Structure 1
């Protein structure tokens, strides 16, 4: 019974991952093929997930993520913040710029952790909770480069705040997270210096979250 329960749980988690990777949803037949199980098994999984609010069906019968997943995501954010602060603090102190962790929420980037340098007289006041389109700003563009399968450092100027410059690197190697680590400053940001700093911070945070 324990083995069967573990197998059911694993299949349910794989099904949720498939739905997360397919915004338009999947049919039960497509899910059965992807999971290599029968349709009756898929229907039982879907029913269980629907009962908990983690899956839903649209008018065409396609299966999509349910809104119960949002509550889980909200619970994860404080954990991400706690893991990010040490790396962001080192980045802010080393660069003299405001450091931030930005995660993707659909087509937007959400800054969930921000650390300002302690030794500078002037720095950007960037608020945790700030949102912006992924197509604007270094943090969002770094996340888009990850989605495109070509993760790379991004640098921008004046896209989010007039006169502000940003440099960001995507966090790679985590299938469950689309995020970037970056810095923003009103001063000059030498990408040859700032780039390695944000890359190292992104790598450090990625390793900390890879559990």
Structure 2
């Protein structure tokens, strides 16, 4: 009986930890959130969220703005981030080349990696032009559309590609045979182009970044409004992007 009680307590502890982490993950997309918003995103009742937020606040992981009654990440998060090993972090290592490429092409430059069935923008350097592509870091996007998605898929392990293509969440509007043909073309040409595939009014071109062992690290993308980013201009961008990607790849062991 005692053993059963201990096991149940362990399960409850793990569940509480998962819920607390789910709350912290809500702040990936937004910097400030209210109790109701967090409860809706985590699908937990307000009383549970309130108790967990109180614990997180007590430990310094979140803080509440008394004027707006909204929560945001606390100082403990930044303390943890300060101890990240940045010696092999693409988001840090590649930033100088991304800034140089932005200045050279005068469009927004982004860096993407694959995480499961999504891609994540881990770094971005926005264009200095008045009308530009706004690229929030940390944004998650589907792998079915977009130049960067197709680059990440084109050079992924075939087993990974099969798994993602056969995922029940794969959008019905994206033809798998056409998509696979596009991946083959990307491997032949070394780049991908997308025009208003994911977002109206936006175009992008992407190339792969490989490390010294020819393993895919990330996708490097240049994006902007379709009024400036026509197909020929994006193709003209490719040699500049490939050179930058090669320099980036040399930095990764």
For normalisation by structure 1, the TM-score amounts to 0.58
For residues 143 and 76 of structure 1, do their structure 2 counterparts lie closer, same or farther at Cα, with a shift above 3 Å needed? farther
Aligned length: 137
2:137 alignment counterpart: 128
For residues 76 and 104 of structure 1, do their structure 2 counterparts lie closer, same or farther at Cα, with a shift above 3 Å needed? farther
1:162 alignment counterpart: 200
Deviations 1:8-50 (A, max 9, x none): xxxxxxxxxxxxxxxxxxxxxxxxxxxxxxxxxxxxxxxxxxx
Q: How does 1:92-171 map to 2 (within 5 A)?
A: 92-118=102-128, 120-147=129-156, 150=187, 152-171=190-209
User: Cα RMSD over matched residues?
Assistant: 2.6
Unaligned runs of 5+ in 2: 1-83, 159-183
For normalisation by structure 2, the TM-score amounts to 0.49
For residues 88 and 191 of structure 1, do their structure 2 counterparts lie closer, same or farther at Cα, with a shift above 3 Å needed? same
Q: Name the SS for the 1:93 alignment partner.
A: helix
1:201 alignment counterpart: 244
Unaligned runs of 5+ in 1: 1-74
Deviations 1:129-149 (A, max 9, x none): 111112211111111111259
Q: Name the SS for the 1:171 alignment partner.
A: strand
1:182 alignment counterpart: 221
For residues 196 and 176 of structure 1, do their structure 2 counterparts lie closer, same or farther at Cα, with a shift above 3 Å needed? closer
For residues 76 and 162 of structure 1, do their structure 2 counterparts lie closer, same or farther at Cα, with a shift above 3 Å needed? farther
